[in-house]
Amino acid sequence: MNKAHYSGKEIANGTVTSPKGFIASGVHTGVKEDNQLDLAILFSKTEAIAAGVFTQNQAMAAPVIISKDVIKNHRLRGVVINSGNANACTGSRGMEDAKAIQAKAAELLNISPDELALASTGVIGLPLPLDNILSGIPEAVSKLSENGGKDAAKGIMTTDTINKEIAVEVEIDNKIVTVAGMAKGSGMIHPNMATMLGFITTDAAVKPEYLQNALQEVTDSTFNMITVDGDTSTNDTVIVLANGKAENHRIDKDHPERDKFFEALQQVSEYLAKSIVRDGEGASKFIEAEARGFKTLSDARKAARTVLSSNLVKTAIFGGDGNWGRMICSLGYSGAPFNMETVELTLGNGQGEMMKVLENGLPLDYDESFVEKILEDNHISIIIEANVGAVSAKGWGCDLTYEYVKINGSYRS
């Protein structure tokens, strides 16, 4: 993953507990089979400023409703996350179950329930196996430690094949500030929607408003720019906790080094977002789409996202087919204005090999065998130059494979 343009120093084996003052755990409660970890707690030893962004789906899961509510005052101590069951479309029982988990964990953590956010991922429409989860909470609380980050990252996985975590350091006010995160996405034990969860920790001191705005802005250019199958889940959640242990001056929009923090947040979020699509259900190739030269950011983002979401583009990439007509076609229905007579298209790969295939809206006389070679790589770049403005955006996705159909077509039980 190319992160050369970020200044944050990546911490080897960093986890959500790399920032000072955070502890975490992951345990098995029996929601998932075998001995897989299925319950994670992330906890700040001291009060943290919190910000969150949540799914826009009208069919919002119970834990999302609760987390949106408790995060309103921008103060949180931690998050309890279960995997294996999304507690979505479960009506009033789902709300009661979620509140029971929140209450039990808060009691054992000796905090108020409204200092705890919740998140769930997994099968939807089935009630939570509440007893399993409740009986696992004491163990999860007792195991909370500065070394628990990796278990927590495992505890939030469903059919993810790798755990997704990162920590980076930047210097602000001559203090080392650490920003870290973990995420899950693109899979589940019982095939269901690709629930996206992200949890970011930092020991930076940050003002709540700045944190919320920064998270929203960063999410729009990272988590909101990835797509696996175009389905927006009922449970999508990204929460950031900032506990101030780094002892920098509180960051707000007037802080002279605010950009360093913002960039570290961006770095962590982009890494996690890319990890999610890289591990997309059945994915064999990672696709980066860059939409350049549009009039507005909204247009550029629409263009990149629509091209990445097209089943026909995704299957072409899977097949190693430089079928760029499908890319222009999807651009054509993206809603982003462009001009067929000025559009350019370049295909590239992770080895830096590139070939422009379209210029001024016309196919160039390119070497198709070289394009085939480019597309053999498992990292594909699609660069669209609209030439109608000066704004660019990047997005990330994956191909659509037999394995995707298999994972999602096989019966839940």
**Spatial distance between the Cα atoms of 219 and 7, rounded to a whole number of angstroms:** 19
Minimum distance between the CB of residue 56 and its own copies, rounded to whole angstroms?
A: 7
Interaction of residue 229 with its own copies, rule CB under 8 A: yes
**Given candidates 1, 107, 363, 367, which one binds its own copies under the rule CB under 8 A?**
363
Residue 64, helix vs strand vs coil: helix
Catalytic residue check, 401: no
With the CA atoms of 219, 277, 393 and 294 taken in that order, what torsion angle do they form, in degrees rounded to the nearest 10? -130
Q: How many residues bind its own copies (CB under 8 A)?
A: 66
Closest CA to 235 of 121, 99, 117, 72: 121
Q: What are the tokens at 208?
A: 């709540």
Residue 233 binds its own copies (CB under 8 A): yes
Cβ count within 10 A of residue 204 = 30
Farthest CA pair distance, the chain: 69
The 3-class SS string of 331-342 reads HHCCCCCCCCCC
Q: Is 400 in the site for its own copies (CB under 8 A)?
A: yes
191 binds its own copies (CB under 8 A): yes
Return the residues of window 312-351 that contact its own copies according to CB under 8 A: 312, 315-316, 318-321, 323-326, 328-333, 337-338, 340-341
Q: Does 58 bind its own copies (CB under 8 A)?
A: yes
Give whichever of 124 and 166 is closer to its own copies, judged by the CB atom: 124
Q: Least distance (Å) from its own copies to the CB of residue 358? A: 7
Q: Is 196 a binder of its own copies (CB under 8 A)?
A: no
Radius of gyration of the chain (CA): 22
Residue 409 corresponds to which amino acid? G
3-state secondary structure of 88: coil
Q: Does 231 bind its own copies (CB under 8 A)?
A: yes
Q: Is 1 a binder of its own copies (CB under 8 A)?
A: no
Q: Which of 195, 202, 234, 306 is catalytic?
A: 195
Q: Quick one: 55 or 178, whose CB is closer to its own copies?
A: 55
Q: Is 138 in the site for its own copies (CB under 8 A)?
A: no
Among 3, 68, 89, 103, binds its own copies (CB under 8 A): 89
Identify the CA nearest to 104 among candidates 80, 72, 129: 80
Is 326 in contact with 316 (CB distance < 8 Å)? yes
* From 57, 298, 378, 387, residue interacting with its own copies (rule: CB under 8 A): 57
Residue 35 contacts its own copies per CB under 8 A: no
Picking from 306, 346, 303, 304, the residue whose alpha carbon sits closest to that of residue 324 is 346
CA dihedral 213, 218, 221, 226 (to 10 degrees): -120
In 3D space, the residue among 63, 93, 69, 96 whose CA is nearest the CA of residue 81 turns out to be 63
Quickly tell me which residue has 């962590």 as its tokens.
268
282 to 311: interface string for its own copies, x by CB under 8 A: ---------------------------xxx
The residue among 329, 311, 305 whose CA lies nearest residue 400 is 311
Least Å distance between CB 134 and its own copies?
22
Task: Please state the closest distance from residue 186 (CB atom) to its own copies, in A.
Answer: 12
By CB under 8 A, residue 412 contacts its own copies: yes
One of 230, 356, 387, 391 touching its own copies (CB under 8 A): 230
Residue ranges in contact with its own copies by CB under 8 A: 56-60, 86, 88-91, 93, 123-126, 191-194, 229-234, 309-312, 315-316, 318-321, 323-326, 328-333, 337-338, 340-341, 358, 360-363, 372, 400-402, 404-406, 408-412
Residues serving a catalytic function are 195
